[in-house]
Every structure is written in C-alpha cells, then in structure tokens.
Chains A and B, each alone.
Chain A
Amino acid sequence: MTPDTTLQLTDYLFYFFALLAILSGGVVVFSRNIVHSAFSLMFTLFAVAGLYVLLNADFLAVTQILVYVGGILVLILFGVMLTNKIVDVQIKTGNIHILPASIITAIIAGTLCGVFTLTDWFVVPDAGAPVAKSTASHIGEALITNYVLPFEVASVVLLVAMIGAAMIARREKKK
C-alpha cells in the first residue's frame, strides 16, 4: 500500500457509490409511496453494482444489473401494479410498531459497526490495488470444475421456482 494520503479516483468512486446506495436505500425504506420505493431501489442496486466493480468483480456487477435491475425489480414493479389500486390513494403504505423496530435496528446496526471497526481483519498486503483482469473466464472455469454440483442444483432450483411460482399465482378455477 502506498503511504501517500491523497485520495485516488477509486476512493472518490467508492464514496460516491456508497453514498448513493445508502441515500437511495433510505428512500426505499422510509418513503411513504411504494412506487417511489421501487424506483429508488433501482438506484441502490446500480450503486451496489458499482461497488462490485470497485472490488474487482466485473462479472458479478453485470450479473447484478441483469438479474436485479432487469428481472427482480421488474417483478417487484409488477407486484406493486397488480396489488395496489393505482387510482385510489391505497398506494401509500404505513408502518407498524415503529418504536420496537427502530430500537432493534439501532442495536443491531451499532453492534455490526462496532464489530466491523474494532476487529483487526486479516487483509492481504497488496489487496487494495485494483487488478485490471476480467473474472468472467475464471468464473466460467470454476463453475464447471469446483462448483459443478452447486451449479446443477441451482438450475434445478430455478426450474422448481419457476413451476412453483406459475402454479401458485394461477387463478383458482371456480367450480
């Protein structure tokens, strides 16, 4: 690690993405309008993908954008549109037992931050430097060698989830 204390471009990018993720995450959680929450979730997911890029996980960043923004977010928006009467004011959602939830959340957040800052993590000496090398080919190699069993199980799980979701969401036939 270089001893100079000037900020580098990656540092600024980290602060930008982290701030964007946390701010839009806050909008997701505290917004009264569920459509605003869903769109704000998109910015959170993009910012998290940016953090992945800074951590040398380019393939995962692209996967994050494809699967989360392209798939899960669209599903969530469909869920919002199908379960809320858009014309009514129904789209606003409230909170339940805020006080105990806030207390528990604050306790857990404080504990996590304390543990994260106080622990002396094992860090490889030159780990901070970004490596200009794509991970896609290595991940593909690992998927068909060391991780072939989880890979196949994941495909079965996806098939089961697809069939199950279609079965559950289907309208019951009126007898």
Chain B
Amino acid sequence: MHVTLTHYLIASAILFSFGLFAVMARRNAIMVLMGIELILNSANINFIAFAHYGGMHLDGQMAAIFVIILAACEAAVALAIVLNIYQQFNTVNVDEVDTLKD
C-alpha cells in the first residue's frame, strides 16, 4: 500500500495517544514530561505532513521549528521545577505533591 498523507496522520495519532496516556496515568513527573514530548512530536509530524502533501512547504516547517524551540524552553523550565519539587518534598510523584489541597 502506497504511503499517503493518512499514513502519517495515523502514525502521529498513535504517538499522540501514547503521550496522552503517559500524561494522565504515570505518577513520575519526568514520565509526564516525556509524554508531553511525545505529544509535541506527533503535532510536528502533522504540521510537516500537511505542509508536504498540501503543497505549502515552508510554512508548516516554520511552525514545526517554533514548536521545537518552545519544547526546548518547556523542558528546561519544567525540569527546573521538578528538581525544586524534589528538594521540597523528596519525591517527584505528582499525586504526592498535594500541599495546596490541605
């Protein structure tokens, strides 16, 4: 079967679902971060696939570049926050960090 736009979209949808599951179900905050990276990657695949098959080469690729830039910022800040949480609570499990609830 020849590869078409739909193949890329399905692959990115599966990656997106994996990322979503990691964000919702994993306890470790760093696993949640990895899930977010998976989601951003699947979004990038969609951007570039639509740009390639829709005949507007650069616009989709520029959007993907800015997504990568923001992903780098997000990873740096999020890991700084995770390290700070670890110093405060001595754990990075997201369900145990619930001081605001009490």
Determine if chain A interacts with chain B. Answer: yes
Contact mask B60-93 → A, CB, 8 Å, 1/0? 0110111011111111110111111011000011
CB-based contact B2/A96 at 8 Å: no
Contact mask A93-104 → B, CB, 8 Å, 1/0? 111111011101
| Category for how many chain B residues contact A | 35 or more
CB-based contact A22/B11 at 8 Å: yes
CB-based contact B58/A135 at 8 Å: yes
Residues of B within 8 Å of A5, CB to CB, are 2
CB-based contact B79/A75 at 8 Å: yes
**Are A71 and B25 CB-contacts (below 8 A) given A22-B11, A57-B64, A121-B5?**
no
In A6-47, the 8 Å CB interface with B consists of: 7-8, 10-11, 14-15, 18, 21-22, 25-26, 28-29, 34, 37-38, 41, 44-45
CB-based contact A79/B79 at 8 Å: yes
CB-based contact B68/A68 at 8 Å: yes
The docked-state distance in angstroms from the alpha carbon of A23 to that of B54 is 28
CB-based contact B17/A112 at 8 Å: yes
Cβ distance A77 to chain B, nearest Cβ, rounded Å: 9
| A residues neighboring B (CB under 8 Å) | 1, 5, 7-8, 10-11, 14-15, 18, 21-22, 25-26, 28-29, 34, 37-38, 41, 44-45, 48, 51-52, 54-57, 59-60, 63-64, 67-68, 71-72, 75-76, 78-80, 82-84, 93-98, 100-102, 104-106, 108-109, 112-113, 116-117, 121-124, 127-128, 135, 138-139, 142-143, 147, 150, 154, 157-158, 160-162, 164-166, 168-169, 171-172
